[in-house]
Amino acid sequence: MDSSKGRPCWHGEVKPVGTVTVTDDTTGKSVKLPLLEGTEGPRVIDIRKLYAETGYFTFDPGFTSTGSCESAITYIDGDQGILLHRGYAIQDLAEHCDYLEVCHLLLNGELPNPQQKETFANTITYHTMVHEQLAKFYSGFRRDAHPMAVMCGVTGALSAFYHDSTDIFDPKQRMIAAHRLVAKMPTMSAMAYKYSVGQPFMYPRNDLSYAENFLYMTFGTPCEPYRVDPILARAMDKIFILHADHEQNASTSTVRLAGSSHANPFACIASGIAALWGPAHGGANEAVLNMLDQIGSVDRIPEFIKRAKDKNDPFRLMGFGHRVYKNYDPRAKIMRQTCYEVLDVLGIKDEPHLAIAMELEKIALEDEYFVERKLYPNVDFYSGIILKAMGFPTSMFTVLFALARTVGWISQWKEMMEDPQQKIGRPRQLYTGRPGRAFVPLNKRG
């Protein structure tokens, strides 16, 4: 226990700090439920014995008020605009670290020292190649297949190639699987892009950094040397950092739920990719570009701003506000600065999409309607603009999200597998169908 605060330390067992009494007004019966307290965030009512004590379940669509696990990886305070990874503010990590340092932090709990960083970077670098037979999987997809469909397939297929890292109860194999996934995801993502445009796959290079290697494999060709611009590589690295983990969101919860059945880690990450694919989750920055397409030109912006303010109009401005952050998305400020750096180095000033986006940003930061409702541009708004400027098609946006989020998923999966309280997921329901009824033979049904 942390005696200075009277509550559990980050690495300690969470013990009750009190109880909450729940009374059934229909019977007068009361039960006491343990009250738990973590190192940050609201206190939690332990309802594991609620059904046994009362015969009742809770009803929480979307699980927005339900803590499904205990975790020491990421903490978010949406009201205050706070995002911490292992206690470190995302702003500090994005400014002072590279992506592989953040990966080490998420996987191991601490930032690496210089020797640990070199060892970890070498481990990832020398695992970036994929089995040559895996490359043949790509030819089984149509050329116009969405890259996320390809990624779901090839990621799940990794379990067919790496039998030496599918024993989920072996800590060493769990870590090998984690390293392989972090290392190979850029290679497989770049291959998905190359396959869609009909260009030859580019093999990874051990002399390049993580972000540089991805850009090289994506945009390089065998015809001529490809020089990776350091500003673009750093922008790519920041995008990876800002998307590395985001607590118990839809895709992370999916990974944990799949993992709770003791599925292999490659299958679990494939399930996370499938959940991320949805436009309400990982497809948000793709939706931003589609919205800019719909607006079409700067002179039409007032029309769409008016529609956005009309609650009876189905049109919504994508990339503004956030379900979690009721204040400013802490990642957005970093991404905004990166956005302008990328546009400057690429010399982009009059691209139609970007002109619309910049005008929308100005309005959202000044218009009383948006300011009052705290509908600020979020990380998806800026990342969509950056990726568009760098030459990525919108169909690749969610793939890049999956690439970056893989380390968060595998860290959460690894933490879950090491949790002695872990059980197979089994949500309950509020059944509203027909009650039990007598069966009617076919010849007697009207």
In whole angstroms, what is the distance from residue 27 CA to residue 13 CA? 35
Please answer whether residues 8 and 1 qualify as being in contact, where contact means their C-beta atoms are separated by less than 8 angstroms: yes
| 380: annotated active-site residue | yes
| 243: annotated active-site residue | no
DSSP class of 36:
E
Q: Tokens 């890292």 belong to which residue?
A: 165
CA dihedral 228→120→186→385, nearest 10 degrees, is -60
In whole angstroms, what is the distance from residue 147 CA to residue 277 CA? 10
- 3-state DSSP assignment of residue 23: strand
Backbone torsions φ then ψ of 317, nearest 5 degrees:
-75, 120
Q: Report which of 52, 41, 44 is spatially closest to residue 15, judged by C-alpha positions.
A: 44
Identified catalytic residue from 104, 179, 322, 353: 322
- 3-state DSSP assignment of residue 216: helix
Identified catalytic residue from 237, 245, 329, 380: 380
- 3-state DSSP assignment of residue 315: coil
In whole angstroms, what is the distance from residue 92 CA to residue 390 CA? 25
Please answer whether residues 270 and 152 qualify as being in contact, where contact means their C-beta atoms are separated by less than 8 angstroms: yes
In whole angstroms, what is the distance from residue 219 CA to residue 198 CA? 12
Where is 6: in which H helix or E strand?
none
Establish how many alpha carbons lie within 13 A of residue 365's alpha carbon, considering only the half-sphere containing its beta carbon.
12
Q: Active-site residues: which are they? A: 322, 380
